Every structure is written in structure tokens, then in C-alpha cells.
Amino acid sequence: MSTLSSAPITLAIPKGRLQEKITRLLNQQGIRIDLEDRKLTALDAEEKLKIILVKNSDLPTYVNFGIAGLGICGDDVIYESAYPFYRLHTFSFGGTRMCLAGKKNTSPESDTRHMTIATKYPRFATQYYHSLGISVRIIKLGGSVELAPVLGLAPFIVDLVETGETLRANNLEIIEILEKIDVHLIANPAYYKLHYERINAIVDLLKRG
Amino acid sequence: MERKRLLQFPGAIEGLRFEDAHRHQEILLALNDVFFHWGYLPVETPVFDFFDIYRPLLHGRDLEKIYRLIDREGDLLMLRSDITLFLAKQLGLSLRKDNLPVRACYADVILRHQNQEDISSNEFFQVGAELIGKPGKDGDLEILFLTLKILETLEVSARIHIGSRAFYNAACQGLSPEEVKTLSGAVCSRERGDILNLLKKTQSPAVCRLTADLLLFLGTTAEYRDLFKACKARIPSEDMKRELQYLLDLGNILEEAGMASHIRIDLSEIGSQPYYTGLVFQGYMEHLDSAFLGGGRYDGLLSTFGLSAPSVGFSFFPRKIEPWIGRPERFFPSDGVEKARGTTFLEKIRHAEELRRNGKRVIL
């Protein structure tokens, strides 16, 4: 049997709100990443880490199939993917809340046995309410979920809320905070098992950040 | 039939053609040669059986992947999704204690549901071996060494992670069956916080931390030896201590045989099925997103089918690793096909036979 290769560890990072924070943190820990304009992959200066830039919601797919061994993403996409990952580190940035929201003064208490919810997170919403013994009808949306109660598609939405400004702008409000969402370094379990020494060194670096 | 319909396939099936099918068969011949020289003889199992017989032994994702169908009498059947279980029934019913030990091997198609977007499971074919009637270290080591021999034959860059269900069971003493199941999930996903939360119900904080450290241990045999030496006096139960020592003994022998670089002691390996009773292991290799090989000891499994005998075995999915087998050309069909010469058909047949006697591939 031959030995394992020393190819760079692969890390998927999400485009968008977390990208800048992650690259800054890596740079602070001496992992210099320079993603040229429009390029979606890059090696760090020492060629020990390969960064893959992917859409946030696609990130678990890349890690699950081992295309990237590691990834950085929130509980929301991890949970929605239903793939098994190791959570190796929780970051201090990027945390948010998964909330039930609706038009002001709309309470789900008037009909707690059955709710219609528009959401980008059907798995989370279904399992959350089923665990409370509440039946839900889910309308899956891809974005701009706030429109659903405004236009009458569904009385409630389940969505990530950071500042709540978009909700307020659409005359909506948080009815209930359902779960705290953190950002994690995740690993494909098989990839971790093969490369745990090098991955643990990266985790130690990130913990210092 | 509409072409659009012909282009559709149900999940989890594959067909092999020509060079691919030839390579697959040649690989199986090479594996069968290893099994044969280790004294293992093949067993062929039925393609389907009654579902209710196996239902108590099936859990989690393995249960979800099973194809079920109803026969003409209204009985619920299951297609063969794991040869180990079908083999256990067949051998449990047919073997007697005075037949033991028995060495069995198998290589056959299995049928499991696979999502359309699942690009990598490739769980279409299962190869494995069972050693029945040989308890303890000698049995476990024989299966581990056979596994390593198979990997050496295939020349794949793989590593075997060895753990212990017996140690896990000892660490769970005092927990309810539901808590044992929850803890198993936490150990498999290496969630230290969840492990501590469950263990604190039966253990003091210091013992909890030690047990969690042990359950999450992953390292070389040398590192494991150091850890065991350092914490031996603090291990809370004799059962836990005995199982850890047992694992160290296996690791020491594998190390002495020069296998250290292919082995890791990994106590988060606790076996995906609750019927495991002792040694458990999984195989990992580069390019694959999940374990391609698994095995262990299940001393109570055969008694479900009427034979009380210890058993240890392993199985793997060859279709998952075929692209990464070393020197693949040894399994390709030999180059060049000659054409028989002659003016009549009989002349061509005679010429072809002559060339074939010299090992040539000849078409008429």
C-alpha cells in the first residue's frame, strides 16, 4: 500500500457576507490568500491550503462529496443540507438568528395546530415545528422571503434575521427567535480522518484568531 | 418506447460494459485468489428474503436504503442490501458447532437506494469475508491482516481506523438505551460538548473529561500507547481498561508486523450497527468522501439465526475504489485481437485454436 499524498488541504468559503471576514482572519494567522478578480480558487502563499470560493448554499455539497475537505458556513446551511459533518470550530463572527416573522400583530397562537410558512429553510422549519407537535405547510422560496406575508402568499416566514431592518421596512416583525445560528469550520468526516494532523493545526491557528 | 423514457434509470443501479466489465471481473479474480489462499471459500446468498427476519438488525440510514417489495402471498420482502446479514442467516441455519471455525468469502451485487445526486456512494457491489467460530485476538488479527492483504493486492493508498464497540459499551454503563443511542451519534460526529453533557449523568466532571478524551482519541499506535500509559490509573472501570488494553495489544502486533503507517487507533469508530460487540474498523482513502470498507466483531449476530458462535469479518465496495487501484493496466484486457486466417470457416477455426493455445485473443 502506498502512503497518503501531501496535497494542500482544501477549504471552501462562501461568497458574500462572510468571505471578507474569513480571508482577513486567515491573513491574520499567516495564511495569505489572494483571490484574484473573478477567480474561484486560490492557493495560500505556502501552498498548504487551497481555497475554493462557492455559493453559500452549495458549500455543504462540495464538502460532503469531498471536493473541499473543509468548509466555513452557518448552522442554517449545514442543517438544511442534512449531510453529516464534523464541526471543528465555532467562529466569533457571523452569528445570526433563525426567526419566525409575520405582519405586525399577527400571532400564530390563533391556530397553533397548523401553520403556513414561507421559507428558504423547509427542513429546519418542518422539523422545528414538528418537534413542538405543530403541523406546518411549507412554501419553499429562493429569496426575498419577506414578500410572502406582504403579498398574502403565507402569513408567516422562517428566515435568518440579523438587524431586522428588512422586516421593519416591510411592516413585519419577529414573532419568535427559533434558534441561534453560528458560523463553523466544518469537515467531511472521511477527509478529517485522513488529514487530522494538518487539519488540527489549522484549527489551532483559527482558535487563536 | 419513447427515447426520453429509455434514458431514465432508477437510483442505485449500474451496468458495466466491455473493458470496464472485464476489469471488474479481473479484480474479483485477484481478490478471490487472496481469499482462496487464506482458506476462505465462497458463499452465494439469495437476492431477496423476508424483511421481518432482518428488521430488528437494521437501523438508521441502512434501513432507509432498503428496497422492499411484496410477493404473491402478501409477504414483505427485502432486496439484498448487505451481504453480511443474508450470509449470517444462511450460515446460522446450516452450520453446526463442530464445523467451526469456518472461513467464508463473498462477492456479489447489492441493491441500495441512492439519491440521484449522489455521485460517490457507488454501493453496487460488496466483497467481504467472515471468520466464524474463532473468538478473541487471533480471530480479530486474522481479519485485520486479511483486510490489509486485500488492500495491498489492490495497491490502494488507504488507512484502517480501528476502534472498539466493547470499549464504547463499557463507557456507556449506567446510561439508558436512548442515551446510549444519542451518545453514539455524538461520538460519531465527534461533538465533545454533547458527549460531556451525556456522560455527566453518570460520571464525575473529571471522569467525564477523560472518557470524552478517550472516545475522541485518534492517533498512531505509539500515541495511543503513550495516552493509555498516562491515564491508565484514572480510567474509571475495569471493563474500560480491559478493552483499551485489548486494542493496544492488537495495535502492538500490527506495529510489529510493519503495518503502523496503515493503521490508526480511532476510538470514535464504534460501528454503525448495534450488533457489533468488540473490534470495529473502517477504511478510508484519498479521493473518497466516505469510508469504503468496514468490519468488526459481532459475536451475537449468528445466534439470531440459531448458531451461537463468535464471528468477525469485513466488507468493502470495490466499485467505489476501482478508479484508484494501483497499476490498473494489470486488470485491462490484453492489447490487440488477431484475426484468424483461412479461406473456409473450418480453416479459420483451426487457425484460431492454434493461436489461442499460445495465449492470443483471436476473432473469426
B186: closest CA among A75, A188, A87, A132? A87
Q: Which residues of A touch B148 (CB under 8 A)?
A: 1
Confidence band (pLDDT; 50, 70, 90) for A55? Answer: very high
Asked if the Cβ–Cβ distance from B289 to A87 is below 8 Å, we say no
Confidence band (pLDDT; 50, 70, 90) for B12? Answer: low
pLDDT value of position B156: 94
pLDDT value of position B76: 98
For the four alpha carbons of B252, B253, B255 and B260, in that order, the dihedral sign comes to: negative
Asked if the Cβ–Cβ distance from A5 to B155 is below 8 Å, we say no
Pick one of 3.90.78.10, 3.20.20.70, 3.40.50.1100, 3.40.190.10 as the CATH number of A96-181.
3.40.190.10
pLDDT value of position B337: 92
In the predicted model, is pLDDT for residue B275 greater than 80?
A: yes
In the predicted model, is pLDDT for residue A3 greater than 70?
A: no
Residues B136 and B166 placed together within one structural domain of the fold: no
pLDDT value of position A106: 79
Point out the residue among A4, A86, A193 whose CB comes nearest to the CB of B157: A4
Q: What mean pLDDT is reported for chain B?
A: 94
State chain A's maximal CA–CA distance in angstroms.
67
Among all residues of chain B, which has the CA nearest to that of A89? Answer: B191
Residues B121 and B258 placed together within one structural domain of the fold: no
Cα B160 to Cα B218: distance, rounded to the nearest angstrom: 12
Q: Which residues of A touch B161 (CB under 8 A)?
A: 193
Q: Which three cell numbers stand for residue B258?
A: 510493519
A9-94+182-208 fold: D-Maltodextrin-Binding Protein; domain 2 (3.40.190)
A to B CB pairs, distance under 8 Å? 56
Cα B314 to Cα B34: distance, rounded to the nearest angstrom: 14
B17 φ, ψ (degrees, to nearest 5): -130, 145
Residues B321 and B350 placed together within one structural domain of the fold: no
- Which has the minimum average pLDDT: A1-10, B260-269, B300-309? A1-10
Look at residues B223, B242, B272 and tell me which one is the last residue of a structural domain: B272
Give the mean pLDDT of B136-150. Answer: 98
Question: Any bridge partners for residue A96, and if so which?
Answer: A181
In the predicted model, is pLDDT for residue B131 greater than 90?
A: yes
pLDDT value of position A111: 55
Confidence band (pLDDT; 50, 70, 90) for A109? Answer: low
Instruction: List, for residues B86-106, the tens digit of each pLDDT value.
Output: 999 999 999 999 999 999 999
Q: Nearest C-alpha of chain B: how many angstroms from A101?
A: 30
In the predicted model, is pLDDT for residue B254 greater than 90?
A: yes
Q: Which residues of A touch B264 (CB under 8 A)?
A: 193
Task: Give me the CATH number covering residue B245.
Answer: 3.30.930.10
pLDDT value of position A1: 62
Q: By three-state DSSP, how is residue B209 classified?
A: helix
Instruction: List, for residues A64-92, the tens digit of each pLDDT value.
Output: 999 999 999 999 999 999 999 999 999 99
Q: How far apart are the first and last CA of chain B?
A: 35
Q: Establish if B326 belongs to a structural domain.
A: yes
- Which has the minimum average pLDDT: A38-42, B198-202, B297-301? A38-42
Give the residue numbers spanning the domain of B351.
337-364
B51 φ, ψ (degrees, to nearest 5): -65, -40
Interface with A, mutate which of B223, B289, B316 (most A CBs under 10 A) = B289
Residues B137 and B149 placed together within one structural domain of the fold: yes
B299: closest CA among B273, B319, B276? B276
Name residue A41's amino acid: T
- Within its chain, how far is the Cα of A37 from the centroid? 24
Q: Establish if B278 belongs to a structural domain.
A: no
Instruction: List, for residues A110-156, the tens digit of each pLDDT value.
Output: 556 789 999 999 999 999 999 999 999 999 999 899 999 999 999 99
Instruction: List, for residues B215-245, the tens digit of each pLDDT value.
Output: 999 999 999 999 999 999 999 999 999 999 9
- B155 touches B61 (CB < 8 A): no
Residues B241 and B322 placed together within one structural domain of the fold: no
Residue A32 CB-density burial (10 A; 0-12 exposed, 13-18 middle, 19+ buried): middle
Q: Establish if B21 belongs to a structural domain.
A: yes
Confidence band (pLDDT; 50, 70, 90) for A2? Answer: low
Q: Establish if B281 belongs to a structural domain.
A: no
Residues B24 and B153 placed together within one structural domain of the fold: yes
pLDDT value of position A105: 81
Confidence band (pLDDT; 50, 70, 90) for B249? Answer: very high
pLDDT value of position A110: 56
pLDDT value of position B138: 97
Asked if the Cβ–Cβ distance from A193 to B190 is below 8 Å, we say no
pLDDT value of position B116: 72
Residues B4 and B149 placed together within one structural domain of the fold: yes
Interface with A, mutate which of B61, B122, B188, B284 (most A CBs under 10 A) = B284
Among all residues of chain A, which has the CA nearest to that of B260? Answer: A3
In the predicted model, is pLDDT for residue B118 greater than 90?
A: no
CA angle, A137 as apex, A131 and A141 as ends, to 5°? 110
Q: Establish if B301 belongs to a structural domain.
A: yes
Confidence band (pLDDT; 50, 70, 90) for A52? Answer: very high
Asked if the Cβ–Cβ distance from A188 to B151 is below 8 Å, we say no
Which is higher by pLDDT, A83 or B1? A83
Q: Which residues of B touch A86 (CB under 8 A)?
A: 189-190
Q: What mean pLDDT is reported for chain A?
A: 91
Which is higher by pLDDT, A36 or B248? B248
Residue B239 CB-density burial (10 A; 0-12 exposed, 13-18 middle, 19+ buried): middle
Cα B161 to Cα B310: distance, rounded to the nearest angstrom: 22
Q: Establish if B309 belongs to a structural domain.
A: yes
> Omega into B101 within 30° of 0, i.e. cis?
yes
Q: By three-state DSSP, how is residue B79 classified?
A: strand
Cα B246 to Cα B67: distance, rounded to the nearest angstrom: 39
Cβ density class B295-313: b for 16+ within 10 Å, e for less: bbbbbebbebbebebbbbb
Asked if the Cβ–Cβ distance from A194 to B286 is below 8 Å, we say yes
β-bridge pairing A9-14 and A49-54: parallel
Instruction: List, for residues B315-361, the tens digit of each pLDDT value.
Output: 999 999 999 999 999 999 887 899 999 999 999 999 999 999 998 99
pLDDT value of position A190: 97
- A10 touches A53 (CB < 8 A): no
Q: Where are the domains of chain A?
A: 9-94+182-208, 96-181
DSSP string, chain A: -PPPP-PPEEEEEESSTTHHHHHHHHHHTT------TT--EEE-TTSSEEEEEE-GGGHHHHHHTTSSSEEEEEHHHHHHHT---EEEEE-SSS-EEEEEEEETT--GGGGTTEEEEEES-HHHHHHHHHHTT-EEEEEE-SS-TTHHHHHTS-SEEEEEESSSHHHHHTTEEEEEEEEEE-EEEEE-HHHHHHHHHHHHHHHHHHHH-
Q: Establish if B277 belongs to a structural domain.
A: no
Residues B168 and B115 placed together within one structural domain of the fold: no
